[in-house]
Structure formats: structure tokens, C-alpha cells
Structure 1
Amino acid sequence: MSDEVIFSLFYLILSFCIVYPPVEFVSAGFTIPSLFSRVLGSEDENFVSYHIKRTIVTLGVYSILPLGYIIALFASELFENVSTLIVSGSLFWKIFFTTSLALPVLALYQIRNWMIDDFKYHPIAINLGKFCNNNNRDWKSVASDINAEFRRIDKICVRTNSLIKVIATENWILKVTPFTVLTAHQSDASLVVQKADTHQISLQTTSETQYLSIEVKSGRQNVDSFVIRINASDFKDLEDRIARDITIPANVKFHKTVMEQFVEVFKATIKSNARYETTEELDQCIGCMQTRPNVKLQKLCGDASGRNDSCMTCYCKPMWCADCMAKWFASRQESDQQSTWLSSKCTCPMCRSRFCILDVSLLDNTDAEE
């Protein structure tokens, strides 16, 4: 293989890694957002402005990659007759050279159009402008709301690949792509799981990973729908952050995590335990702060052995929901001994009294699915 071909392949691979950076490039900080971090500023401080600048820089970098190859040819001693090759060479080289010069010019023209009237015609600004409710608001007002919500710690960010990430704040669903940010407001959005595809991690193992394609459709006029593709393991986090239900058609089946499976079994098991009656006024579950407590620990198993690992009486008032208690119970078990989890014991999250699953009682007039 000639030196010219090796050089061309190297530049082609480098360009691909810039456009679609692999994990190694991301870890090393060799990505467009990392290399231009001083120009872009902070995403946390000004989310919308950051991504407007990022899309402009991304378009500029992408557009000069072919021209960079031509410049590298001139600078390299491997090619002594580059000018002759371009002027008198094949039609392919003439077209390639012309295109490499035209792309940066077209990119600069597009960037100029985006910057007119303080980025009013940028794709991100256009998307946000569709959510203005009256003439007294413009896209900057919407951007200010998104910036404020993005600064909060209760948002979730799921990176689907090196180029795309999904963000869910209190009121917004955002899909960040190389050249825009697709937006939907939770108040009028519907989410439907379109499909679930499973992939084997490697040929040497039977481990599988599953991805869900979820369509986000806005009820507002002229707002385009978009699809987010996330790992099934991130589905629960997204579902908890989204204020609206995510519709799962009957024909779509996806794997549940070990924790989700255990929570279901835990809740089904404690239904057969004796109920606990209380007239206390209860606050929100201190584990999730999203629902009322519906379980109480009381010694029912009949373990009177007196050993150090025997179950004990818990005097704490009901403060946990069944889901959080199940997750706490599972978190205290050996991760590689899943078959013994139900028969194992745990300690109360508050007073550390030891209990087993037979000691977990639903409150009277409540149900584990609540």
C-alpha cells in the first residue's frame, strides 16, 4: 500500500472520529464542544446560548474538513504535484477541490443567516418560537425558562450516543443533535414507545442490551415530532421525570431491569402479609417524595431464635412506599445472589431494626401498586 493511500485513509478515519467521536476521543476531550469550550461558555449557565454557539462551531468545523485534506496534501512531502493533480487531473479531483472550497463559503453564508437579528433565524430559536403563547413573548423568553430549569438538579440527561443526548426537565423534553435542539413541552406532548430492539453485547457472552425508540409528539401547531432512542435501563428514570404517561403498545415488549423485577415480586409478596391499621397523618414517602407511605415494618415472621441475625421490632411510623422499601431491601443484598434476595433480611432504613419480607405490611386500605 502506497504512502499516499495510507495518508488518505488516516485523514478519512480522523475526519470520521471528529464527526462521530468514539468513546476514546470523548474520554480524551477530543470533541468539538471540548476543544472549543472557551468559545462556547458553560452549558449549565446558559443552555440555549451554549447550543446555538455549538451548532455554529460544528457547522464550521465540518465544512472545512475536505479543505483540510487539500491543505494537508500541499503541506505533505508525499504529494509533490498536488497542483498539477488538481488542475490537470481527473474529473473527480476537480470536483473534490471545487467542493472543498465551496463548503466553507456556504457554511459562512448559513452562519451569517443564523446570526441575523440576534439569531432569530437559527433552528433552535425557530423551534423555541413555536412555544410563544402570545405576542408579548418571544423565543428568548422561552429560552430563559429552559435555562432556568436546566440549572436545577432534578433534571435528567441521557446520552444516547456521542452526538445526541436527551434531557427532561420539569416542563420540557429536549433532544440535542449536532445542528439543533428539538423541543417539546410536557403539558401538550404525548410519548409512545414505537419499538424495542435487542442487541447482544458481545459474541463471547449472552448478555444483551435493549434500546427503546420513543416518539415525542407535540399537540402544538407546526411543532415537529421527534424520536428519542434510549437504553431500556434508562427508561424508568425518564418515566419518573416525565409528567405524562408513556404509552407502551401491547406489541412492544422490553426487558425490565433486575431491580424492577424484584420490586414487582416484592410488592406481590407483601400483599399476603397482615395489614397494618393506622390513623396517623402521613407525609410524603421520604425515599421518593412522590407518593404517600403505604408500608409499615412490624415483626410478624415468628423469628424468636434470639440470634444476632433474628428479626426485631421496629417502632418507626410508616414513612416509606412499597417501591422505595423494595429498592432499599434489594440494595442491602449481595448483587450476585439474586436468587436468595426474598429469603434474606435487611435493616430498617431509619432505626436499623432487622426485618424480613414477612415483616413488611401494607397499610390498611392501601395497595402495593399505589
Structure 2
Amino acid sequence: MIEIDIKFDNYTVMASSLLFTVLYILFSLCFVYPPKEFISAGLTVQSLLSTWLGSENERFIQYHMRRIVATILWHSVLPLGYVVGLYILDDSNHQAIFWQGGAVWQLFVFSAVVAPLVAAYLAWDWWRDHWKSHPVARTLAMFYNPDAGWISVASDINIEFRRVDKVCIETNPVVKIIATDNWIVKVAPYWLYVVHQSDAALILSSSDTHQVAPGSHREAQYLNIEVKSVRPGVKPFCIRLNAMDFRDFEDKVSCPITVLQNVTFHRTLLDRFLVAFQEQVAKNAVYVTTEELELCIGCMQTPANVKLQKYCDDLTVQGDSCTTCSCRPLWCLTCMGKWFASRQDQNHPETWMSSKATCPLCRSRFCMLDVSQVQPM
């Protein structure tokens, strides 16, 4: 019976340790990369140490210097917290937690104990001499004049950050991009990237597109912008933006953004829709005509090249069904696409492809299947 009880206790301890391990890993991941639930519950470094960090709006640079230190300290304690949790959980043999196991486990325990000590030493080394040794302070020191110090540069950035016309884009829960009148700043968990716009070269190097959800027609496009400074010693960095935020960022920065030739992207939701609209029209039936085509009455730049004619099998109720349009070709494909998009619910772009619009002239209803490209004979 004693042997059975011992085995049962061992299984219980193993199950408890496994459950604790899974829960602790999930908690650590959410603490390092907090989801909305953690942010709203205040389980972030910024919320837990808000009193010590101060106000980001009042002293932006000093706030993030402290935040970087606090983030490194808190994250360095997470492995030690796991070891201590196992120590408390297994009250039968405390020494086994530290000394039993393979070399990998012993190395992990040693690192868990040493990491907070190293982080504490870094924090003390950065704090002494009025934060002069902090990596952010050393970065700002590359921008100051001989008669001033890094604090004067920090003061300039703080003043510009307090202005209401700055652009602040959160690319994910732990990274955000800030563009002021003269500065571009990337806020990362352990670093603060800073570049003066007069020294910066911005290159849109690549883009990638992802589906919002599996099986969904909605897509999100992201742009990767390389930011380099001609000032010696300033680290280059990369900005990853949603294509929907690119226009706001581009309007705020004074330096031009170079787009490489092999990069294509849609600057707005309308641009994305026009591509889908043109792809669908290319699959529709072609309208062959012998009449001479005039310039599009919408833009007066491109020859009219689309005709509305009913091809769909629309069986909706009378008054909402597609009808035949008797107008001759007067619009180009781009202008017709813009007209179609303007007649849709702007709050629900996912319904645009399956919706209808009316002819700009005769008000005949049509869907995307009824738009034909004109082919002269």
C-alpha cells in the first residue's frame, strides 16, 4: 500500500507540474506579447509600474527609458518565477527541483538565477550618472550639438510628441511608430529607434498580403519600410505598416519614400477594390462594337472601354433586380469601379463584391457580372 501511495503521489506531482508548466508558459507569452484582454486588465509593464514610469505625453523619452529598464527586469524574472513555482508546488523534495535532472535543466536553473542579476546590474549601470549610459541616451547623443547634451535632444522630441498633429501607429501590441514634424521613432520592447527626418532615407523594400481569416476574401497587406540614417552610428531599422496606414505616415514625413520597382501595394481600400473589380470584369463577357469610342466622361483622359449589359442570373424581387442598360459606352473601367464603390456601404466593404449599383446616367441596376469590357471590331 505504501508503494502504491508513493506512485500515486508521484503521478499527482507530475500532473500538477505539467499543468503548471502549460499555464505558466501561456501566462508568460501573454505578458511578453499582451493580447487585448491582458491590456484591458492592466497586466502589462506599463500599467503595473505606471506610477514610477510617469507620463508618456509629458516626458516621452524619459518614460521609455524607464519602460525599457522595467521591461528587461520583469522579463528576466519570468524563468526564475517558473523555477520558484515548481519549488513551491513540489514540497516533498525541494532540492530535486534544483539539482536533479539533466545538464539542460541545470543550465536553465542557473540561467534563471543569473538573468535577474545581470538585468539588475544593467539597470544600475544605466541609471547612474543621470541615465547617461542608457542606450537611448547614447543614441540621442549622436544628434546633439557640441554645446548641448542628449537631454536637449530628448526635450525637442518630447515637445513634438505633445503636439496633436503627430502620427502614432500601433503596428502590434508591443511596437508602435511615431512620426512628428522632425523625428521618426519606433518604440520596441527593449529599444527605442530614433532618426531625424533630415538625415533619413526611407525605402519601401517589400510587401506581403495575408487573408484576414481562413476562407475569407478579405485581405490585409503589410509594407516593410527600411529606415536608414546618413548620420554615423545611428542604427537602421525596419517599419512594418498596414497598407491602410501608409497614407497617414507618408503625409507626415518630409523625406520621400522610395518604392522599389518590384513592390506593388494598394494604398487605400478603394485601390484594393479596384484591383478586384478589374479582375472580375476581365472574366465577364466582352462587348463588341463598331462605334467610335470617345473619352471617358468621368476622367476625360482614358477612352471609354466598358459597357453595362445584363448577363447575371439575378432572381431578386422586382425593383432590386439587375436590368438592361441602354447607354452606349461612356466610362472607363477605373471610373466605373470608383462609381460602383461609392454607391456601397462604406462600413461594410466585405459586401461590395456581391452588391449592386445604378448606372450613372439611366439608373439601371447592375452588379459586377454585368460590366463588360468593350472590344472594337
CA distance change for structure 1 residues 231 and 102 in 2, over 3 Å: closer, same or farther? same
Structure 1 equivalent of residue 3 of structure 2:
none
Q: Which amino acid aligns with 1:113?
A: D
Bigger Rg, structure 1 or 2:
2
Structure 1 position 37, deviation (Å):
1.1
Number of the residue aligned with 1:368 = none
Deviation, structure 1 residue 175: 0.4
Alignment of 1:1-370 (within 5 A): 2-76=15-89, 78-132=90-144, 134-259=145-270, 271-272=299-300, 334-335=345-346, 340=357, 343=360
Q: State the shift of 1:259 in Å.
A: 4.1
Q: In the aligned structure 2, how far is the partner of 1:146 from the partner of 1:67?
A: 37
**Given that residues 48 and 143 in structure 1 are in contact (C-alpha distance below 8 angstroms), is that contact kept between their aligned partners in structure 2?**
yes
Moved more, 115-124 or 1-10: 1-10
**TM-score, scaled to structure 1:** 0.71
Whole-angstrom distance in 2 between the partners of 1:163 and 1:272: 47
- What is the distance in 1 between the residues matched to 2:20 and 2:196? 48
Q: Is 1:119–1:125's contact at 8 Å kept on the other side of the alignment?
A: yes
Give the distance between the partners of 2:271 and 2:38, measured in 1 at CA: 34
CA distance in 1, matches of 2:190, 2:208: 27
Identify if the C-alpha distance between structure 1 residues 6 and 341 changes in structure 2 by more than 3 Å, giving closer, same or farther.
Answer: farther
Q: Is the 8 A contact 2:83 2:97 kept in 1?
A: no
Contact 1:333–1:341 (8 Å) recurs in 2? no
Find the residue that maps to 1:86 and give its secondary structure: helix
Deviations, residues 130-180 of structure 1 (Å, cap 9, x unaligned)? 111x21111100000000000001001111111111100010000011112
In the alignment, residue 167 of structure 1 is paired with which amino acid? Answer: I
Structure 1, residues 69-103: CA drift from partner, whole Å, max 9, x if none? 12212332x45213233234433332222211111
The 3 A distance-change label for structure 1 pair 197 and 342 is: farther
Q: Relative to structure 1, is the Cα distance of residues 75 and 341 closer, same or farther in structure 2, using a 3 angstrom cutoff? A: farther
CA distance change for structure 1 residues 247 and 83 in 2, over 3 Å: closer, same or farther? same
The alignment partner of 1:160 has SS state of: strand
Aligned pair count?
Answer: 286
CA distance in 1: counterparts of 2:124 and 2:24, whole angstroms: 29
Measure how far apart 1:271 and its partner are.
Answer: 4.8
Do the aligned residues in 1 keep the contact of 2:247 with 2:267 (CA within 8 Å)?
no
Q: Which runs of 5+ in 2 are unaligned?
A: 1-13, 275-295, 302-337, 362-377
Cα 1:168–1:183 shift into 2, 3 Å: same
SS of match in other structure, 1:230: strand
What letter corresponds to residue 272 of structure 1 in structure 2?
M
Residue 235 and residue 271 in structure 1: after superposition, are their counterparts in 2 closer, same or farther (change >3 A)?
same
Distance in 1 (CA, whole Å) between partners of 2:261 and 2:358 is 30
- Tell me which amino acid in the other structure corresponds to 1:10: L
Q: Which runs of 5+ in 1 are unaligned?
A: 274-326, 345-370
Q: Secondary structure at 1:58's aligned position in 2?
A: helix
